[in-house]
Amino acid sequence: MPAKDFIKKLTDAFTKSEKSNIGKLFIIVDQQISALTRALEKTEEWRDIDIAEGKTLNNLGGNVGQYRGQTTDEVYRVLIRGKVARNASDGTVNRMIHAVAKSLDCKYSDVQIINASDSDSADEHEPAAIIIKRIPLRALNVVGLSTNQFLQLVSSIKPAGVRVAYITLEGTFSFSKDSTEETSDEGFADIEQAVGGTLGGLFTPRNDFKLPI
């Protein structure tokens, strides 16, 4: 409640003015209450790993047993989400996709993982191996996660004894099969760029360190 509303509730024995001594006292109390409210609201917001930074983010990571190492806040958020998702994973392909998508905060459809034994290509058949057919390059670039670091993340999610055969880093763009210009999820983008294929390419930092997982 603002100070002026407190002042209005005073009895007629007091001067109902913000310039009076009691009015000034109410203004000071109101400022302190407002500052405390803002601090509590910020504390509540920073319990969200997508907002928390620095030591507060370290505390959230420590709660799930995931420590920062040399990672930035952006990469550390990926590790924390990945740790939570890994704890719930049962090693199936669907659960691995779920864990990767949760880690990178992307759609499940952005990730495609198959068993190598289920591949359409005879050259790719291999028991106890998986193939990462599609990964969200945009999500990796946003947080600054390198190819090697992403492979570490996937390796921490996959079942023991299962090998990652390879990861496809190509984009989704493809040309139409006929002479008609195509606007689709895999073709040219529309004016709003709501649909359209993406080109390959992944940023690799100079200091491509090993993640603490």
Give the per-residue pLDDT at 79: 93
pLDDT band for 134, please (50, 70, 90 cuts).
confident
pLDDT attached to residue 35: 83
Residue type, 93: V
Q: In what order do the strands lie in the sheet with 112-115?
A: 112-115, 129-134, 163-167
Q: What is the pLDDT of residue 202?
A: 57
Sign of the Cα torsion 158, 162, 163, 168 reads: negative
pLDDT top residue among 161 and 204:
161
Instruction: Classify residue 118 by its DSSP letter.
Output: G
pTM higher than 0.85, yes or no? no
Average pLDDT, the chain: 79
pLDDT at position 1, please? 59
